[in-house]
Structure 1
């Protein structure tokens, strides 16, 4: 779950994450849920995403999976100013 500007479109989030992704490992990013409420700062929305990560060649180690997910979060942050939700 991450915060992004309330005006950010889902397609922009998907593009930001997938644009430079290694598609052999990060297959898909899917929208799960959006929340706006008192726990979310004004002008922001909380977005829950599902990343489909895997390899046809080997079983991925948890460190590899975490690295792919962290790279997706960094891309979202750098491109759209999104940030990980901590609460």
Structure 2
């Protein structure tokens, strides 16, 4: 158990950050899911719109430290390729 005041504060802070990061990842996953459902439905216009909405979300996840840069780049590349192949 944490004894020092800074360790106790760190525990509180980590809990708050974990909650924020979980919400942020959930939001990113929702955007990606919209693209995948549009691809499954074969709706190219909806997939393009969803892709353009998801790109800044993934970039924001990288800048906030929730996602690794290469992970976001890989996801974007694969999704873009799938949308283009419709």
TM-score, normalized by the shorter chain, greater than 0.5: no
The structure with higher relative contact order (CA 8 Å, sep 6+) is 1
Larger Rg computed on CA atoms: 2
Per the normalisation by structure 1, the TM-score is 0.31
Q: Which has the higher helix share?
A: 2
Q: Which has the higher strand share?
A: 1
Per the normalisation by structure 2, the TM-score is 0.31
